[in-house]
Amino acid sequence: MKPRLQKTDRLRRLVEVIEDDPFITDRELACLFRVSIQTVRLDRLELGIPESRERTRRLAKEATNKVRSVETGEVIGDLIHVKLGQEGISVLETDKDMAFRRTSIVRGHHIFAQANSLAVALVDAEIALTGTATVKYLRPVKAGERLVAKAEILSRSGRRHVVKVTTKIGHEDVFAGEFTVFAVEEPEGYSEDSRRGFN
């Protein structure tokens, strides 16, 4: 069993760990450093580091501003990183409202929706639609678990994009999918004004 780190070493490591994994929770940090959650909170305050949800919100705001194919409320989960036409990451905090009451297992359509909306968000177009999806659910997800979906565009041919999405809890894969997403041209007469009519 390793001895606890001195405070100065712990603060230095805390900064490194949060930079590496910005959505790590205070509870996870407390376990990692073998200190109380309150100690982690005090350390974060001393360093001026916001809590996990606020860090995620900030990353989501930055990433969402880059996306063209979906609007802020249309992405399922928090989009925390995006390079249009290349890759992206989203985080979904699951809760009991997403799960079956009897088992607390999250319904599959929530997991699929996170992956699908991330795949669509990566396509650098005003309108992008999913054509096909091949998916595998690798293990049940319990309410309260945090889903981290990572997507990358594998290939592009004209308007057709093949996007691979892997969703993890910690280091464990729970979902894998390959989505074919098409960039669609706006039909004639279909303007920003007419789009607002569908809200």
Kindly state whether residues 70 and 35 are assigned to the same domain.
Answer: no
pLDDT surpassing 50 at residue 197: no
pLDDT surpassing 80 at residue 99: yes
Q: In the chain, which ranges are E strands?
A: 78-83, 87-93, 127-137, 146-157, 160-169, 172-184
pLDDT surpassing 60 at residue 102: yes
pLDDT surpassing 50 at residue 109: yes
Structural domain for 144, as ranges: 62-196
Mean pLDDT of 3-8: 80
Kindly state whether residues 106 and 151 are assigned to the same domain.
Answer: yes
Confidence label for 46 from pLDDT (cuts 50, 70 and 90): confident
**Which CATH number does the domain housing residue 36 bear?**
1.10.10.10
Kindly state whether residues 66 and 26 are assigned to the same domain.
Answer: no
Kindly state whether residues 162 and 82 are assigned to the same domain.
Answer: yes
Helices 7-20, 37-47: crossing angle, 10 deg rounding: 80
- Percent pLDDT > 90 in the chain is 53
Kindly state whether residues 177 and 79 are assigned to the same domain.
Answer: yes
Q: Is position 75 within any domain?
A: yes
Kindly state whether residues 67 and 44 are assigned to the same domain.
Answer: no
pLDDT given at position 199: 33
On the CB side of 28, how many CA atoms lie within 13 Å of its CA? Answer: 14
- Cβ neighbours around 42 below 10 Å, total: 12
For residues 64 and 20, the model is more confident at 20
Q: Is position 100 within any domain?
A: yes
Q: Is position 160 within any domain?
A: yes
Q: Is position 1 within any domain?
A: no
pLDDT given at position 195: 46
Q: Is position 149 within any domain?
A: yes
Number of independent structural domains in the chain: 2
Contact 111, 147 (CB under 8 A): yes
pLDDT surpassing 80 at residue 154: yes
What are the pLDDT digits (tens) for 67-80?
666 666 678 898 88
Q: Is position 12 within any domain?
A: yes
Q: Is position 2 within any domain?
A: no
Residue 147 has phi, psi (to 5 degrees) of -95, 125
Contact 179, 116 (CB under 8 A): yes
